[in-house]
Amino acid sequence: MRIGVLALQGAFIEHENVLARLGVQPVEVRLPEHLEGLDGLIIPGGESTTMGLLAQKWGLLEPLRAFARSGRPIWGTCAGMILLAKEVVDGVPGQPILGLMDITVRRNAFGRQVDSFETDLEIPALGDPPFHAVFIRAPVIERVAPGVEVLASLEDGTAVAVQQGRLLATAFHPELTGDVRFHRYFLRLAG
Ligand code: GLN
């Protein structure tokens, strides 16, 4: 299996390390031609405005949309989730996004001061035990269209992980905790 990791900016190496641990050779994607022959793609966390602008600059936006249209899975974590969303609240005006998932996300939803935290999430799709989730200046999902499945929510009901077909989005960073279950879940979508 060949899984790409968008390697323009942000926490791509951490995703590559988890994939390697699972026996999958990661492929760094920086140009449209790097998408060829991939079975799936991870868009990492980082800074969504910067990542979007770099993707635009390197001509990746339309090839990434075509990649999703071809039915191949994409998983966006944190900033990657923002790029996947159709609608971004509190984004930078005109920030380039892919607009692939029918969700509305709010950037930096937890504010500036208390901008990072960790919590355990019940995720039925992953089973027991709860998943330790790291949120770093994280967005939240404010609206999900019918047909988008909520995989995980905070205790107050805020959605933080969703799936629409073979598109997956998490507001937190599963590549940072050593728990590989989310990566396995994504590899099953890709396989
Ligand atoms: N706050 C960042 C953004 O808006 C996302 C943070 C992250 O990916 N950890 O792009």
Interval between CA 8 and ligand 1 midpoint (Å): 14
* pLDDT of 38 above 80: yes
Task: Give the pair of three-digit tokens for residue 83.
Answer: 């790029």
Catalytic residues: 78, 173, 175
Residue 3 CA to residue 19 CA, distance in Å, equals 8
Torsion of the alpha carbons at 28, 172, 17 and 183, rounded to the nearest 10: -90
64-73 burial: b if 16+ Cβ within 10 Å, else e = beebbeeebb
Instruction: Output the pLDDT for position 115.
Output: 79
Residue 45 CA: nearest ligand 1 atom is 8
Interval between CA 52 and ligand 1 midpoint (Å): 12
pTM of the model: 0.97
Residue 65 CA to residue 74 CA, distance in Å, equals 10
Domains defined along the chain, listed by start: 2-190 (3.40.50.880)
* Locus of tokens 């937190």: 172
Span 24-29, average pLDDT: 97
